[in-house]
Amino acid sequence: MTAYLIENAAILDGDPTDILLADGIIAALGADAKTKADELEDVERIDASGLIALPGLVDLHTHLREPGREDAETVATGTRAAAIGGYTAVHAMANTTPVQDTAGVVEQVYHLGKEAGWCDVFPVGAVSVGLKGEKLAELGAMASSEARVRVFSDDGMCVHDPVLMRRALEYVKAFDGCIAQHAQDPRLTEGSQMNEGVVSAELGLAGWPSVAEEAIVARDILLTEHVDSRLHICHLSTAGSVRLVRDAKARGLKVTAEATPHHILLTDECARSYDPIFKVNPPLRTQADVDAVREGLADGTIDIVGTDHAPHAKEDKDCEWAAGAFGMIGLETALSVVQQAMVDTGKFTWEDVARTMSYEPAKIGRLEDHGLPIEVGNPANVCLYDPKATRTIKAEEQYSRSDNTPYAGLELPGQVMATFLHGKATVLDATPVEG
């Protein structure tokens, strides 16, 4: 395997230094890096002046669509997009066809990730059989499978039955698992199209009230307190949800939460275009909600940034608003959006970026070889990022099989220049390394 000497990269908020990646690990730092590199035969030197070295990013919330909807995305195309975004590990959500509710299906997805080689894929198991919310899926079998599932979610559907949710929370305690809840009361959102508020009233679109999310968040916090288990709140989007999670953490409960890039940058004002590209679940909220979610990320109430990368075939988005599918892609732009919304506004340091986009998601997913600091001996999962670059996002240039990005035409800061997975370059010069 080729070794890489990364020269003059700033590790997070630190001063420029050299990093040697060899034999799949971070072999040396600083002056030792050049000394040891000189002893190796196959070494590629990378001038990283002006670049920031981040630990490889970890996404706890990715939809790869395979098996079943390969017209929208495959494990190979989705993980290639992830690598372009600086990710070395993604958790593949369970709403595939067939659903990832058995050991056989999660192992299939796990091996597809290994074959693709762009980043490590960790399947998320379904909580209920077929995502129907009626009967627990094979949680134990998935946990003991080769895929070693530790996160379970019916994402796309809410585990609405409180008895089933309680049983799931109790069951996963046996192997230190986590239930990741899609917080949406279906009775309060039936026929809803966008956030309920001034904009929905003006546009004449059925509103999606904040309380539909907050009611489930509150209920599940009470359930996880009762059974002393691990609960993760997917794509938290309202100020009320932030308050509920903040209170739960103050009481020492095992509750974590994520925010998506689009929920810290975009608002329901985007719906005025009637472009289904902005139709997402949960919906884009008000500026007040965006501000509250940003503050939640900044003070640690919200633990991580999860992309909720949701690719769709063109015909599912190139239509009128009411018929459009919910969801938007985000793996390739997540780091840039976080820079714009959090770093450039002074709410985040680069250490905070590493915490919310690498360390904490890996911790929640119980990953062993990801989400570790750039230190000697740790796995060589590294991303090199140029924070001073700017780029105008073009839908047709996305590496995902789908192009439903909400940022098309926007100028975003930053560019991932290189990604290394266990010491192997998956991206160099902002371009995927094939083969």
**Binding site per annotation, positions for substrate:** 63-65, 95, 281, 312, 326-327
Q: How many CB atoms are located within 10 Å of the residue 84 CB?
A: 23
Paired sense of beta strands 16-22 and 3-11, if any: antiparallel
49 near 10, Cβ under 8 Å? Answer: no
Supply 123's token pair.
Answer: 């399947």
99 — phi, psi (to 5°)?
-65, 145
Distance CA 107, CA 270 (A): 39
Binding annotation for Zn(2+): 61, 63, 155, 182, 235, 308
357 near 241, Cβ under 8 Å? Answer: no
Distance CA 122, CA 63 (A): 12
Q: Choosing from 289, 308, 386, 403, which is the catalytic residue?
A: 308
Binding annotation: 61, 63-65, 95, 155, 182, 235, 281, 308, 312, 326-327
Distance CA 215, CA 108 (A): 35
Paired sense of beta strands 231-233 and 255-259, if any: parallel
The burial class, CB within 10 Å (0-12 / 13-18 / 19+), for 295 is middle
Cα(first)–Cα(last) distance of the chain, in Å? 13
- The DSSP element (H or E) to which 144 belongs, if any, is helix 139-144
Q: Is the peptide bond before 67 cis (omega within 30 degrees of 0)?
A: yes
Residue 308 bears catalytic tag: yes
Nearest one of 432, 435, 404, 397 to 417, comparing CA atoms: 432
Distance CA 106, CA 103 (A): 5
Distance CA 131, CA 168 (A): 13
Catalytic residues: 308
